[in-house]
Structure 1
Amino acid sequence: MNKRFRIVLLGMAIGLAGLLVGCHRTSDEERIRQAIASAGHAAEQADVSALSDVLSDDFDGNGGQLDRRQLTGLLRVARFRGETLHALVGPLQVEQRGDRYIARFSVTLARGDKLLPAQVGIYDVESAWRREGAKWVCFAASWKT
């Protein structure tokens, strides 16, 4: 083999390896982790649409205490009032159960002005996720202090 041919062959091999790495499919667990991060960011930005994107239409919060409409309504009120919200998601565990997933994590929610929070709450959260089309949505969540 001549030198030029080997260089071309090596270049093609490197290019193919790059394509294979670039085509890596995001795991379902990683998609759920990303959705949880998106929900936290949506809460901080009071972005009702972004929060709605990660909740199923039949979302059930804390055993019937809060549905999707009520949860997004609370975020709408916070936005209307100009309230500042902060959400810090703690360690996250994601466990597959059949074709669904359970995610457990802690979240620290703070509300108040920009310098010091007026209220702080730390919650242990367990959320249930299912695939709807191409995305994962939270269909149930429970939390306790």
Structure 2
Amino acid sequence: MESIERGWHGAPGARLRVGRAIGAWLAMVLLLALSTSCARDDPEAALRARVASLAAAIEARDPAALQQHLAEDFIGNDGLDRNGARRLAMGFALRHREIGLTLGPLDVDMAPAHATVRSKAILRGGSGRALPDSAQVYDVESGWRLEDGEWMLVSAGWKPAL
């Protein structure tokens, strides 16, 4: 019993070291939680998350999910409207069993309730083989507007980069 008690209490200062380690761990978790909550309030972080969500909808071959990111007055290349963008995505999804989208670094210009995002994008389509059937690199510029707390894509322009 004596050895168990000695092991429980440990050497002098052991409980203090364990207490400090737990305190440091709790402080780190608290700082991480605070930084995460601040990021949610950050308009640029929310916009970047929205861009990632749009890219995921494209890769998932989900035109309806893509359309949910588009403002009612969306305009794209050559007068493409919101419904036209959905039809374009449906056509690409019908041609390709797998779709890949890789975005380069996002260049974000923020303004109150508006933003412009520029990036390179690689769009790939394939039938499931090791190499894609088609791939193209684009320069993309998109305009975003904050509507009811949600970033909506208002305009998009793209042109082949190569």
Q: 1:18-73 CA deviation, whole Å, 9 max, x = no partner? A: 39716425211111111111111111111122211211011100251x11101111
After superposition, the CA RMSD in angstroms is 2.3
Q: Runs ≥4 in structure 1, deviation > 4 angstroms?
A: none
Does the aligned pair in 1 maintain the 2:108–2:115 contact within 8 Å? yes
Greater C-alpha radius of gyration? 2
Q: 1:37 to 1:112 in 2, by over 3 A?
A: same
> 2:103 aligned with 1:89, yes or no?
yes
1:24 counterpart residue number? 38
Task: Give secondary structure in 1 for the equivalent of 2:38.
Answer: coil
Query: More helix per residue: 1 or 2?
Result: 2
Cα distance 1:25–1:33, how it changes in 2: closer, same or farther (>3 A)?
A: closer
Query: Residues of 2 paired with 1:76 and 1:62: CA distance?
Result: 17
Gaps of 5+ in 2: 1-18
Q: Give the TM-score of the pair, scaled to structure 1.
A: 0.79
2:96·2:126 contact (CA, 8 Å) conserved in 1?
no
Within 5 Å, which residues of 2 pair with 1:109-124? 109-114=123-128, 115-124=130-139
Q: List per-residue Cα deviations over 1:70-96 (Å, max 9, x = no partner).
A: 111122234445532110011111111
Question: Which residue of 1 is the match for residue 84 of structure 2?
Answer: 70
* 1:144 alignment counterpart: 159
SS for the counterpart of 1:117 is coil
Return the TM-score normalized by structure 2: 0.71
The answer for the alignment partner of 2:118 in structure 1 is 104
2:155 partner amino acid? A
| Partner in structure 1 of residue 9 of structure 2 | none
Q: How many residues align?
A: 132
CA distance in 1, matches of 2:93, 2:117: 27
Q: 1:39 to 1:23 in 2, by over 3 A?
A: closer
Determine which structure has the larger strand proportion and give its number: 1
Partners of 2:73 and 2:100 lie apart in 1 by 26
- Whether the 8 Å contact between 1:38 and 1:50 is mirrored in structure 2 is no
Structure 1: gaps spanning 5 or more residues: 1-6
